Structure 1
Amino acid sequence: MIRCIAVDDEAYASEILAGFIKKIPFLELVGTTTNAFEALAWVQQGKVDLVFLDIQMPELTGIQFMKICGAQCKIILTTAYPEYALDGFEHDVIDYLLKPIAFERFYKAALKADVILNPGPVLQQTEQLKTEVIPAPSTDYMFIKGDSKNKFSKVNYEDILYVEGLKNYISIYTANQRIITYQSLRDLEAQLPVPPFYRVHKSYIVAIDKIRIVDGNTIYIEDQTIPIGETYKEEFFKLIKEGR
């Protein structure tokens, strides 16, 4: 079980998050609070694994909260302000949820937390993440960390053709550029919206709407060829036959 708290200076917002937490079997609600200092005390007492954290709060902001906590817990940010995304990524947050938050989007973030906090054999919930059609995030882009500490590149989802995994690095291919960043393919897979992105090989994720031809076990996107892995073949052909 992942021990969670919901922190928001607006009580109704934290109660909504609490209701979501209670619906997910691998999450345990430790408490809700409108007081960031109270939440900080819970974390420092070792009572919390995961914090659903608002950013715009009086006295102690979410960004300040993360700086104090350091690595004592994991964070999923919940906010109405997309401009704080870079700050969140710099503090290694698991996910960035924009209000109003749909339960499906919340559930996807919870699955990402489960993968990170409970490494090991793939759980049933993470298998569902591969096959369920989950609504896309509230934003239509993401920021990719660059080759220096505070450098990030904005990438629109609609521009991505496919992604290739290279051990601890990934290459994101668009029609005009290739972006390389230090990240696992599994972590990026959890971040990308489904559809249009699907894993088709242990080393590749593709944008289904960018596929030009599928011939046997090979996908053609523009002039690139991408193999279909045996593990992913059945689900891939099922989804393209269904037009998903």
Structure 2
Amino acid sequence: MVLNCIILGNNPEGFEELEDFLSAIPYVYLVCRSRTMAEARFWLETQTIHVLIAGDYDDPLSLPMTITGVLPVLIMAYNDTPPGGFDFLPAALMHLPFTAEALNNVFSKIYKTIEMNAITYPTKYSADYFTLKTQHSFEKVFYEDLQYVEVMDDHIMLHLRDQKLVTTEKLDWIISQLPASAFMRVHHWFVIGFRHITSLADDHVMIGAARIALTKEMRKELAKRYQLPME
């Protein structure tokens, strides 16, 4: 299991190293860093986020009140009433400045809590597919068949095992339909499915015959996630 995490807020003292510490934990994936709740809500409503780390933020949010010198770490719990609804469950308070060891301990506790007690599991992806609007019809896109998503000049092409689908839907919307534990955006123009990776080189990844360029940092992040067993 991969724990998908969001950082919400600005930088209090000691917050600068948080992303580096998170990237060093092999079973944690930092999905995004959002300065406002409006930005974070896009991902929270996909019901794929397990953990939220809350710093200082600029807009109202139904979270426990922030306390000077600490960062609340919260587990996400999802429900269908209302549709796409979610709650915040306090998991820990990280005292600033914190260490990599302290962060590891917090996430180890969260991992065990979720795994043993099933407090939260994303529910949006209980189906094996999502429905995509194309020019002439609505198509079922099965997750196991989707190899990669490619942004073209005025449309987006979804490359499946046995066909290609073209849509004018926004890339952010398509990404929100994909389980973050099985797909990853590796470039401004590409989102790939882990199960279809055929090789991973220093500067590119191969999806069948498609060669997709990678930056050094993106290659490092992809290697970390790709080596994890996908459930």
| TM-score normalised by length of structure 2 | 0.46
Higher helix share: 1
Higher relative contact order (CA 8 A, sep 6+): 2
Higher strand share: 2
